[in-house]
Amino acid sequence: MKTLLSGASLDGSRPRIRDYGGMLSILLSIAILMIAYTGLHAQDQPATASTPQPLISAAEKAFVPARPLNLNQVKQAIGYPSKAVQASLEGVVVASMLVDATGQVIQYTVEGKAHPVLKEAVAAKLFTLKFEPATRGTRPTSGWVQLDFKFSLR
């Protein structure tokens, strides 16, 4: 909190101390609210004549995620790694894949609390997955897909 001393009075009494901290915090709060309000409502503004917006129907905007076509075959190919069986390893491997507009996996990440042996078994087969590509409206597009691979000895 900042304070400001005003000049001493003519009668020699102590200078007065003014507290500007409270007023400053109020002004700062008002400024933040104004910025937030402007940002939130800027997107609600109608398009101007200089920036025409194309007319897109809801059906054209609709996004349908990619769907795996050969998931069962890939799961069979992964199987249960023998090292994992011997060590009684279990877990769930979460694979996030970027599927392009042709249905091919082009990038992936493998996550989860599963043992690295299980993660490696899944990662080795992810590029063999084939997908019906995601669509936006009627056009094929790329999109992320997440699949869980569960390993359980029970």
pTM greater than 0.75 (yes/no):
no
- Continuous segment of H or E residues that includes residue 85: helix 82-86
> What are 121-143's pLDDT values in tens digits?
999 999 999 999 999 988 999 99
Phi, psi of 43 (to 5 degrees): -75, -15
> What are 81-109's pLDDT values in tens digits?
999 999 999 999 999 999 999 999 999 99
CATH 3.30.2420.10 for domain 60-151: yes
Token output for 63: 């996004």
Does position 63 have pLDDT exceeding 80, yes or no? yes
Taking the C-alpha atoms of residue 131 and residue 95, their distance in angstroms, rounded to an integer, is 14
pLDDT, position 4: 45
